[in-house]
Amino acid sequence: MVHCKKCAVLRASVLYGRHPTKQDFVTWIINKLNKGQEISVVDDHFNTPTLAENLARMALEVGSRVFRVFTIRQVVRESAVMILARKIAEVFRLDASLINPVKMGELKDWIAKRPRDSSLNTQKAQGKLRIKPLNINEGLAN
């Protein structure tokens, strides 16, 4: 156990956003659906997608305020992976019928084990930060 009076911990479970060399979940879905390719998306895994830029802005705010010591453990919103996939299709006007639901156990290319639910509670962040966690619609609009 670490004790620190002037520190903060921010947690995120799934980051997405523009990156010059890496493909994130959002970009993967857009690319596949744009090509008319079917994809499989788990419908029994829950996480908290977070726009990387939004997390960075919240981290800067927390860093500037850390000397006033408050605890924020989770700073992102929860959502089901399938809901996110369908919302991506909707926002980018892509064919959501190409998204096929699968169970976590059916995915053979997931190397790392994942808990079924890695969603995070954002109530403290919502109440204490001026820069709020973006919901899926707001994040995808950026």
Region 90-111 average pLDDT? 86
User: Which range in 10-19, 88-97, 133-142 is most confidently predicted, on average pLDDT?
Assistant: 88-97
Percent of the chain whose pLDDT exceeds 70: 83
Q: What is the mean pLDDT of residues 62-89?
A: 66
Query: What does the pLDDT read at residue 68?
Result: 52
The whole-number average pLDDT for the span 3-20 is: 75
Q: What's the rounded Cα separation, in Å, for the pair 123 and 85?
A: 24
Instruction: Give the residue with greater pLDDT, 105 vs 54.
Output: 54
Mean pLDDT of 112-132: 76
Distance CA 95, CA 34 (A): 8
Report the pLDDT value the prediction gives residue 38, as an integer from 0 to 100: 96
Q: What angle do CA 47, 133, 42 make, to 5 degrees?
A: 20
Contact 95, 89 (CB under 8 A): yes
* CATH number corresponding to 14-108+116-141: 3.40.50.720
Name which of 14, 39, 38 is nearest 136 in CA terms: 14
Which tokens go with 45?
């895994």
- Which of the four pLDDT bands, split at 50, 70 and 90, describes residue 84? confident
Q: Whole-model pTM?
A: 0.66
Output the pLDDT for position 132: 80
Q: Report, as an integer, the average pLDDT of 31-60.
A: 89
